Amino acid sequence: MSETIFTKIINKEIPADILFEDERVLAFKDISPQAPIHFLVIPKKAIATTNDITAEDEALVGYMHRVAAQIAADLGAAEQGFRTVMNCNEHGGQTVYHIHLHVLAGKALGWPPYQERLKA
Ligand code: 5GP
């Protein structure tokens, strides 16, 4: 797998606004926020897409969600709620091929994301 910009962020080769870090994951603010609160939780292990998650990654992916919820709580967003999203490949809207959990909060978010369905 080729290196992505997130590997550079993990290696501190480019800056990011880091919210949490340990040996397994890194969480940082999205550079182009789509909600008042928008951060990403990524594994330090480079996994390209959701399709590439293996049985050995199950605990890691679960841990990413626990970290997401803890940071959301620290930012005061747990009670009103938040959204976690992991985009996969082209139709999912994935642009960085190193899995990442988007966490969006701070306002009531629209649903569903597939707006054309509403027009049918
Ligand atoms: P995707 O479209 O792959 O689901 O999400 C990639 C996300 O990474 C986007 O929301 C984008 O704004 C964010 N992103 C891309 N490059 C950078 C960067 O260099 N720094 C930060 N903090 N976020 C980035």
Nearest CA to ligand 1 atom 18: 31
Predicted pLDDT of residue 115: 72
- Ligand 1 centroid to Cα of residue 49, in Å, is 14
Predicted pLDDT of residue 112: 86
38 a catalytic residue: no
Predicted pLDDT of residue 120: 53
Total number of domains constituting the chain: 1
Instruction: Give the domain range for residue 41.
Output: 5-117
The CATH number that applies at residue 58 is 3.30.428.10
Which tokens belong to 23?
């040996």
- All residue ranges of the chain with pLDDT < 70 are 1, 116-120
Predicted pLDDT of residue 114: 80
Strands 37-43 and 101-105: antiparallel
- Ligand 1 centroid to Cα of residue 30, in Å, is 6
Nearest CA to ligand 1 atom 15: 31
Pocket-forming residues, ligand 1, beta carbon under 6 Å: 5, 16, 28-32, 87, 93-96
E strands present in the chain:
18-21, 25-29, 37-43, 82-85, 101-105
